Structure 1
């Protein structure tokens, strides 16, 4: 690396940190000079290329000159404690937080982890506000309960241990699991009987308390001719 290239790369790094802008932002609405690709600009911004030309330096610096300083906020202990509390109380996966940002905004799980660990003491104001807005408005997805608590429905009946034992004995007798037993069965398809439902009835994928009457009727025939 030449001394001049090193100075150029330091200047570009300083501008990237000053503005908080990455390749998507600085190249928006611009035409790349001949011979300069988006990939090369990305590599220059993050120090993956050791030598750059005067023309490349001038172009990138001219793009950064269009942007004001990025506002930052201090990550005080009360702020971080609030974030941790919201994540814990609502059981929010950290990956879900980063998904709330558009890709060009440059926020990801790694950045969030540096906040929570205290490795950095400031954050982009736009990132911090975005995270807080997401956490405070987050509603956990409701779990769909397929059969539980439906005993009052006339189309459903409680599942007995005898039924579970019968299904398991048929599987053991024929060597056919639910997927193979259902294969090609048009009746099962019509009434929505799947291998997942059978596994829930058996208690191997959650445990259903009730089942559709028409499903139970089909159970009696499913392995019969095997």
Structure 2
């Protein structure tokens, strides 16, 4: 999954939220003129991709992509901060933990930062953290299979054919190791989700059902 696809999917969700709330929205790199008037309210999006974590030794090993979007509720000074907190409550609910886009997902509840105020506007930033595993494999990286078809039962394989088989076995062992590491990381992630539900007050069977619902296929 590319950075462009991830941002585009997230920005689409932001646009849908802005439309539902009848709010104008500013996007990174795009011209924007905030609405005027005492009752003016709008959104401002900032995008912060973060460092990719490596979960594989080989070139086609999985990677963890991560970052956060910051969606700010903005308004003209005067009416008080509850104008902003009402909007940030809606942002936090709309981008709740588990919200998925382009193979990524929000992995913890979004949170508000300190209010930023200047003579022209008041801003309530909401940080929305996301992450997701992606494979490093591409068709161009597909390894050439060893010439195992040259080996037959009535011929002694030459050194080149033996080396090709040894290389294939080595690749399979490495891929198995990477898969084991990936599965272990996913297991830790699922267990953390389960414990978070238990700490939040759900019973253990309820927490198990909630986690299972996330892991299951989405209902159409």
Q: Normalising TM by the smaller chain, what interval?
A: under 0.3
The structure with the greater share of residues assigned to strand is 2
The structure with the greater share of residues assigned to helix is 1
